[in-house]
């Protein structure tokens, strides 16, 4: 499949479809005949640019970004009453179903024995709220409700019922009712897979999940980066050989998935209702994304960090995702998700990006032969200290002695000094103290998520803690 031809035809189709919408008339869609015209006429957009028009959609106004009414909205962040509410058109939901079919077809090509997955399927979708005018929910809830018909008989729980339950009740139902069933497939964010496994092993006293669900064959994970949890989950699986499929999707649309069980990078799907653009080296000046030159998918280069823009069949036009990806290959595009554009710790002028923090931690963990999953870092200046410091909280698979954590702290300090001149200046000038590293468990993270109202299907621990009270929470553990 030719990338340039496919993407150009897709873009033309989206423009023609939305030509008579308010947005299409304002940006002269009727005159756009090329990608360069599209770039000239349509500015890069962020949520603040469209938030007021989203409210109009909720009030029943039509033909704003996409033809017809929009009465479904996916929550991109926050709880049901807060965060970003992004439009979901019928065409977008159809594209999401096609994405799920692509995953199934890819998996069966690699594992043609379909009987391995004929059995109980357990999914953990997010919340859904419905009122007289519209529905709001996590994208996983809409995906569960619009799953391919042939999946329904295999699902242990009714998707509509689960999307209405508080998250703690979803977990309890799985623990109470699915324990003695022949579970073959689990679909959930990896942090919740880990939580379920840990709770089941504690409840039953078994040594591994092989003793509980011996026929478990496949884990389909999305919403949170799988590599942060894979080793922890594998440790609990024991001797079982279970396949992992990772999906990279967002409220804006599903983008990529692992179509090769032997690889960690993801196949980018470019023929499914999303036109892609990429802004190179976004960390050089994240505040200038709106004026930087974007490149289309057919012009990207490998091993270059890019911010992602999407134009979709839900009426998002050159919309910034806030994600950073790198292409491991470009002719048949494959990506790795590296982090977020705007996640920066700059409380004391250190300008440390989450992207940099994650890379430094991964390098040092490999050097020290420590298995680290999730992490978060915050800055604080406690009253009894004269200067602030960074506090790192890392999730590990095995207990770590304090001496090892101290060595890790020193190596992190040295690595970030080398990578980040802002941090180095503040350390050298003694306006920032040496960092400290602590360990946290998944249960402790879950309790924090619950307190913050983020205990959702795709609730996640941020890489950066901006609130001093959150640093206090983890330090006091």
Q: What tens digit of pLDDT does each residue of 422-471 get?
A: 788 778 767 788 999 999 988 888 888 888 777 666 667 888 888 888 98
pLDDT band, residue 288 (cuts 50/70/90): low
**Which segment of 114-118, 274-278, 455-459 scores lowest on mean pLDDT?**
455-459
Q: What pLDDT digit, counting tens, does each position of 318-354 carry?
A: 999 888 899 999 999 999 987 777 677 877 778 788 8
Which one of 180-189, 236-245, 266-275, 404-413 scores highest in mean pLDDT? Answer: 266-275
Give the angle subtended at the CA of 470 by the CAs of 465 and 474, to the nearest 5°.
Answer: 105
Q: Pick the residue with more confidence: 167 or 376? A: 376
Average pLDDT of span 205-216: 93
Residue 385, pLDDT > 60, answer: no
Which one of 69-83, 149-163, 456-470 scores highest in mean pLDDT? Answer: 456-470
CB 122 within 8 A of CB 200: no
Residue 88, pLDDT > 90, answer: yes
For strands 183-187 and 436-440, give the pairing: unpaired
Which one of 230-239, 272-281, 374-383 scores highest in mean pLDDT? Answer: 272-281
Average pLDDT of span 9-33: 96
SS3 category, 257: strand
The dotted CATH code for 93-257 is: 3.40.50
pLDDT value of position 79: 34
Closest CA to 171 of 201, 141, 146, 193: 193
Instruction: Give residues with Cβ within 8 angstroms of 31, minimum separation 6.
Output: 37, 41
Which residue's structure tokens are 């077809």? 105
SS3 category, 246: strand
Average pLDDT of span 115-135: 84
pLDDT value of position 232: 82
CB 461 within 8 A of CB 446: no
Query: Beta partners for 187?
Result: 123, 220
Q: Pick the residue with more confidence: 151 or 61? A: 61
CB 395 within 8 A of CB 375: yes
pLDDT band, residue 81 (cuts 50/70/90): very low
Q: What pLDDT digit, counting tens, does each position of 183-202 carry?
A: 999 998 888 888 889 889 98
Closest CA to 234 of 179, 266, 190: 190
Residue 474, pLDDT > 60, answer: yes
Which residue's structure tokens are 């998002």? 316
The dotted CATH code for 344-476 is: 3.30.300
Query: Beta partners for 219?
Result: 186, 244
pLDDT band, residue 82 (cuts 50/70/90): low
pLDDT value of position 383: 60
Tell me the two tokens of residue 404.
């090892």
pLDDT value of position 228: 73
Q: Mean pLDDT score of the chain, rounded to an integer?
A: 87
pLDDT value of position 286: 55
Instruction: Tally Cβ neighbours within 10 Å of residue 442.
Output: 20
Residue 9, pLDDT > 70, answer: yes
Q: Pick the residue with more confidence: 170 or 386? A: 170
CB 332 within 8 A of CB 339: no
pLDDT value of position 78: 41
Average pLDDT of span 102-118: 90
* Domain residue ranges of the chain, discontinuous segments joined by +: 3-87+273-340, 93-257, 344-476
Residue 145, pLDDT > 90, answer: no
3-state SS of 348-383 is: CCCCEEHHHHHHHHHHHHHHHCCCEEEEEEEEECCC
Average pLDDT of span 196-209: 91
Sign of the Cα torsion 162, 163, 166, 168 reads positive
pLDDT value of position 190: 85
Q: What are phi and psi of 435, to 5 degrees?
A: -75, 160
């Amino acid at each position: 499949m030719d990338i340039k031809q496919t993407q150009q035809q897709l873009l033309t189709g989206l423009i023609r479809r939305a030509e008579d919408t308010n947005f299409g008339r304002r940006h002269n869609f009727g005159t756009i005949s090329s990608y360069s015209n599209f770039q000239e006429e349509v500015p890069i957009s962020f949520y603040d640019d469209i938030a007021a028009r989203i409210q109009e959609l909720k009030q029943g106004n039509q033909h704003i970004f996409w033809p017809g009414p929009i009465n479904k909205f996916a929550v991109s962040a926050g709880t049901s009453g807060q965060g970003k509410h992004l439009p979901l058109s019928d065409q977008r939901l159809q594209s999401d179903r096609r994405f799920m079919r692509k995953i199934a077809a890819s998996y069966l090509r690699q594992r043609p024995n379909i009987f391995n997955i004929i059995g109980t399927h357990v999914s953990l979708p997010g919340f859904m709220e419905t009122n007289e005018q519209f529905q709001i929910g996590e994208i996983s809830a809409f995906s569960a409700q619009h799953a391919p018909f042939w999946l329904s008989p295999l699902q242990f729980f009714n998707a509509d019922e689960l999307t209405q339950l508080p998250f703690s009740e979803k977990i309890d139902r799985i623990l109470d009712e699915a324990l003695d069933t022949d579970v073959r497939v689990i679909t959930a964010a990896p942090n919740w897979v880990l939580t379920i496994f840990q709770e089941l092993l504690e409840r039953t006293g078994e040594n591994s999940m092989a003793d509980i669900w011996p026929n478990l064959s496949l884990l389909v994970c999305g919403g949170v980066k799988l590599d942060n949890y894979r080793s922890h989950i594998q440790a609990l699986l024991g001797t079982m050989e279970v396949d992992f499929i990772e999906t990279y999707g967002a409220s804006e649309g599903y983008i990529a998935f692992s179509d090769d069980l032997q690889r960690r990078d993801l196949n980018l799907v470019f023929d499914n209702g999303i036109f892609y653009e990429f802004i190179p080296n976004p960390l050089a000046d994240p505040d200038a994304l709106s004026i930087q030159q974007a490149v289309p998918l057919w012009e990207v280069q490998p091993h270059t960090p890019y911010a992602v823009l999407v134009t979709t069949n839900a009426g998002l036009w050159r919309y910034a995702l806030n994600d950073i990806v790198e292409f491991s290959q470009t002719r048949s595009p494959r990506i790795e998700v590296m982090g977020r554009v705007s996640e920066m710790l700059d409380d004391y002028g250190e300008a440390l990006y989450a992207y940099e923090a994650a890379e430094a931690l991964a390098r040092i963990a490999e050097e020290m032969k420590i298995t680290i999953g999730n992490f978060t870092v915050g800055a604080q200046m406690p009253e009894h200290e004269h200067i602030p410091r960074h506090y790192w909280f890392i999730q590990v698979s095995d207990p770590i002695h304090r001496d090892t954590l101290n060595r890790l702290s020193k190596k992190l300090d040295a690595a970030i000094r080398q990578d980040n001149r802002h941090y180095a200046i503040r350390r050298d000038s003694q306006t920032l103290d040496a960092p400290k590293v602590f360990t946290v468990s998944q249960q402790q993270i879950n309790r924090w998520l619950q307190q913050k109202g983020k205990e959702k299907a795709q609730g996640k621990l941020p890489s950066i803690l901006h609130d001093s009270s959150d640093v206090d929470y983890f330090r006091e553990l």
